[in-house]
Chains A and B, each alone.
Chain A
Amino acid sequence: MGKLNYRVVVFLFAFIFGVVFSIPSLTQSEDNNTTGKKITLGLDLQGGLHMLLSVKTEVALESKLKSIGTSVKYNLEDEEVVFEDLKIADSKVVFELLDTDDVPKVDKLLADEFKEILVKKDALVYEISLSPELAIKTEQNAIDQAVDTIRNRLNMFGLAEPTVAKQGTDKILVEVPGIKTAADEQRIRALIAKAAHLQMMAVDEDRANRVYGMTEAEAAQYGDIILADVNDNRTKYLLYSIPILDGSMLTDAQVGYKEKSNQPLINFSLNGQGAKIFADFTEVSVGKRMAVVLDNQVYTAPNIIQRIGGGQVQITGSFTPQEAHDVAIALRSGALLAPVQVEEKRSVGPSLGADSIKASSIALTLGFLMVILFMILYYGMAGVIANMALIANLFLILAVMSLFEATLTLPGMAGIVLTVGMAVDANVIITERIRELLHQGVSVTKSIEQGYNNAFTAIWDANVTTLIAAVVLYAYGTGPIKGFALTISIGILASMLTAILGTHGVYQWVLPKIDKNKLGFWFGIKKEKGAK
């Protein structure tokens, strides 16, 4: 053996590095929790739910506008300004003054009390709209709030490592691995989608008995709305449309059980302000009914028997324990300011993921063995050296992916298979160059050195072009495709190290052993007549 050179030492380190850091990933399984950084399997391999959601921000804008409208009304009435036709139309709050003398007062009021709104005046008609900055702020707020809320809900649901992240400016990416059944998946989706808008509303007892003969429009005239019972949508309630209080004053919600029937129910607590409003309301409303409304459905509407202090309230209704659990989570994590919609959904069952892993592993193993055998058959010892690089390359890919805690997807597996095919390319080029020189009668030492020199630019340029394609793919790809680009890129970089530097070092190391009379064994070529 020759002297250890720096190349072979680097190669050895790379190899050890590769093996050590890929061990946590290779030994991981469901029941054993190996420590250390490891590769996570993509949702397409381990099964799970991937969703790209968009937020209906127009709903958030609408409610912002509504609250401005309410505020304008309150302020105008407070200042005793006479106006008519206050309404919301075309994303604007519109009203008309009756008295020209009020104009300066109203202008001052709008300027003092409201920020970031645009006011357009046409004689006595005012049009108020949101300024672009406020509109953007409101939209962003709705999206950020949705991200937080959904994340809270999934975390509370107790699933392993859900991902909820904002994607781009207006989308939300939700990834939930490890879902076992379609029913579970649907339950999770229902939890995500739940608006969880809780309201306490008073029943309009004066007109309550007329509810079945009343239209929505008629109810609106009295400032009422008609809502149905959650269990039986034929049972209707006539409620004052302005709620007594809403879910924003809620501090906690927990599942409890009725004493005798063991029926699940939800206990929730109100904050100080909410508790006071609730106590005051119940004090003056003894004998009347109060409805607990969740997402525009009446869950319960009991008679108020006495003042209720302390801010502890219960929702009953025929919940299953599961539903009660999910509703409590949704209430605790707060309401969604604006509803979310699915733009893209990919869900993979765990059995399909396992099948994909099996299939691609078989392909990888077979492909790998085939290449290894071929290289040995065709190139002899040179093939063995190339195979060392190939094996090191495979470990390096796994190690680097583990260190970055990257995700391995099905296209990623394909990427590794393809890398195996392409990684030998560098060694094929090099060995061909060496053979060429040997045929010309150049000495073994010189052939190896010059072979590496000659091959270098070709390998370099070829790898850089492939790398450019892979990087662009990574930048523009989504989900699984990114995984493919990632494994290819790492594979190319690793192959530069193992195939060019590593094998060169090995050649230099074993050089004294190479017998120039046994070129068939070492390089798979027949000794030519006349060769020196």
Chain B
Amino acid sequence: MEVFKYNKPVGFMAVAKRFGILSVVMVVLSLGLLFIKGLNYGIDFAGGTLIQVQYKGDAPIENVRTLMGESVNFKGANVTFFGSDSEIVIRTKSSSNAVDSDVGDEIAKLLEGSGEFEIRRVDMVGPAVGDELKTKGLMAMLFSIIGILIYISFRFEWRFALASIMALMHDISIAAGMLVLFQVEINLPILAAMLTILGYSLNDTVIVFDRIREGIRTIKSAQLEDVINESVTRTLSRTTLTSLTTFFVVLTLFIFGGEIIHGFAFTLLVGIVVGTYSSIFVASPVLMWLKFSISEFREKEAAALKREKEKEKMRAMYEQGTI
């Protein structure tokens, strides 16, 4: 089977401006959401306690809400269904630091008499740990971006690195915007998903860039736009196929992976779509707008090749014992 067969270059860059405007709008909207509504931090980062309770039969959620509302310590607790009608999650901002009896025990006691239940999960994060996790998460994000920037600059050229980082920012902001829009709770797995998006988006961009780099050497046109169009078109099949397989695999995770993995899979789904889009419509045009010069690159490449050849010649001479 063959869906994307290469015939002639598609004029992606001709419409790049229009998509560029779309991207800018999406990013601005996302950032707006991010600043106005803010991320919905889960207990991993905000601190607090989460208790997952499974009832035999339907969970008496209204009853539980009343019980929480009447208690002194857990007045503001948030009670929601979790995946099914028999399972609920109680979230409260309070955490305790005594080892032998904690918020989980207290809530279990409060729920006594509300039905036959099993406490399946208690997560409690103290405020200090929450802050530490937040800092660590941001550090992880920052360091991986720096690491990747250095690698791409080394393998390609600084404009490629800059363009890929812009695509990355684009993806991360839109993904974050979606998280705000759908009120996804931000916890550690979501952070891991964001970092995966980071890796995935770059992966996609790098493959397109690799083709552009190759195109610069092999395509006769000295017009960057032509080179980009042809390279992007040639990778189109791969980009779409890989994105689709990954998308569907993550979709199974989203549908069948269970409630705990839901937010994680959702974030990845968004990331895959945006990441694919951005490697074609953000990273490549930015390269063009950064006034990347083909002739300059070719000269540099030629010089490097010459040096390499000379080195080889020297080595050959050395091995033959002429030096």
Asked, given contacts A344-B129, A439-B6, A472-B147, whether A356 binds B258 with beta carbons under 8 Å apart, the answer is yes
Contact digits for A417-440, partner B, Cβ 8 Å, 1 yes 0 no: 110111011001100100110010
**Across the interface, which residues of B come within 8 angstroms of A439, CB to CB?**
5-6
Q: Which of A12-20, A222-230, A248-256, A460-468 contacts B (4 or more CB under 8 A)?
A: A460-468
A192 within 8 A of B: yes
Instruction: Check if A481 sits within 8 Å of B189, measured CB to CB.
Output: yes
A352 to B, closest residue via Cβ: B120
Instruction: Check if B199 sits within 8 Å of A469, measured CB to CB.
Output: yes
Instruction: Check if A481 sits within 8 Å of B245, measured CB to CB.
Output: no
**Across the interface, which residues of B come within 8 angstroms of A480, CB to CB?**
188-189
Contact digits for A346-382, partner B, Cβ 8 Å, 1 yes 0 no: 1111011001100110110011101100100111000
A456 CA to B5 CA, complexed, in Å: 21
B105 to A, closest residue via Cβ: A186
Selected from B97, B189, B199, B257, the residue in CB contact (under 8 A) with A343 is: B97
B188 to A, closest residue via Cβ: A481
Selected from A340, A411, A468, A481, the residue in CB contact (under 8 A) with B144 is: A468
Instruction: Check if B1 sits within 8 Å of A524, measured CB to CB.
Output: yes
Q: Is the interface of B mostly helix, strand, loop or mixed?
A: helix
B228 within 8 A of A: no
A121 within 8 A of B: no
A51 to B, closest residue via Cβ: B99
**Across the interface, which residues of A come within 8 angstroms of B252, CB to CB?**
362-363, 366-367, 370, 417
A360 CA to B126 CA, complexed, in Å: 29
Q: Which of B14-22, B25-33, B64-72, B261-269 contacts A (4 or more CB under 8 A)?
A: B261-269
Instruction: Check if A343 sits within 8 Å of B140, measured CB to CB.
Output: no
A513 within 8 A of B: no
**Across the interface, which residues of A come within 8 angstroms of B128, CB to CB?**
343
A461 CA to B98 CA, complexed, in Å: 49
B238 within 8 A of A: yes
Contact digits for A497-532, partner B, Cβ 8 Å, 1 yes 0 no: 000000000000000000000000000111000000
Closest CB of chain B to A526's CB: distance in Å? 7
Q: Is the interface of A mostly helix, strand, loop or mixed?
A: helix
Instruction: Check if A425 sits within 8 Å of B210, measured CB to CB.
Output: no
Selected from B6, B200, B245, the residue in CB contact (under 8 A) with A466 is: B200
B residues 155-207 in Cβ contact with A at 8 Å: 155, 188-189, 191-192, 195-196, 198-200, 202-204, 206-207
Instruction: Check if B249 sits within 8 Å of A461, measured CB to CB.
Output: no
Closest CB of chain B to A232's CB: distance in Å? 21
B260 within 8 A of A: yes
Instruction: Check if B206 sits within 8 Å of A344, measured CB to CB.
Output: no
> How many residue pairs bridge A and B at CB < 8 Å?
255
Contact digits for B119-139, partner A, Cβ 8 Å, 1 yes 0 no: 111111110110001001101
Selected from A347, A366, A462, A473, the residue in CB contact (under 8 A) with B121 is: A347
Number of A positions contacting B (CB below 8 A): 81
Instruction: Check if A367 sits within 8 Å of B148, measured CB to CB.
Output: no
**Across the interface, which residues of A come within 8 angstroms of B136, CB to CB?**
476-478
| Interface size of B as a range | 35 or more
A414 within 8 A of B: yes
**Across the interface, which residues of B come within 8 angstroms of A422, CB to CB?**
200, 203, 242, 246
B80 within 8 A of A: no
**Across the interface, which residues of A come within 8 angstroms of B188, CB to CB?**
477-481
Instruction: Check if A432 sits within 8 Å of B238, measured CB to CB.
Output: yes
Selected from A342, A429, A458, A469, the residue in CB contact (under 8 A) with B98 is: A342
Instruction: Check if B99 sits within 8 Å of A342, measured CB to CB.
Output: yes
B residues 192-250 in Cβ contact with A at 8 Å: 192, 195-196, 198-200, 202-204, 206-207, 210-211, 214, 234, 237-238, 241-242, 245-250
Instruction: Check if B206 sits within 8 Å of A411, measured CB to CB.
Output: no
**Across the interface, which residues of B come within 8 angstroms of A379, CB to CB?**
1
Instruction: Check if B253 sits within 8 Å of A465, measured CB to CB.
Output: no
Closest CB of chain B to A451's CB: distance in Å? 12
A residues 473-491 in Cβ contact with B at 8 Å: 473, 475-481, 484-485, 488
Instruction: Check if A411 sits within 8 Å of B264, measured CB to CB.
Output: yes
**Across the interface, which residues of B come within 8 angstroms of A352, CB to CB?**
52, 54, 120-121
**Can you give 7 A-B contacts (C-beta < 8 A)?**
A52-B129, A346-B122, A410-B261, A465-B151, A468-B148, A477-B188, A488-B199
Known A457-B214, A476-B140; 5 more pairs at CB < 8 Å: A340-B99, A362-B257, A363-B253, A370-B248, A422-B203
Q: Which residues of B contact A (CB under 8 A)?
A: 1-2, 5-6, 52, 54, 96-102, 104-105, 108, 118-126, 128-129, 133, 136-137, 139-140, 143-144, 147-148, 151-152, 155, 188-189, 191-192, 195-196, 198-200, 202-204, 206-207, 210-211, 214, 234, 237-238, 241-242, 245-250, 252-253, 255-258, 260-261, 264-265, 268
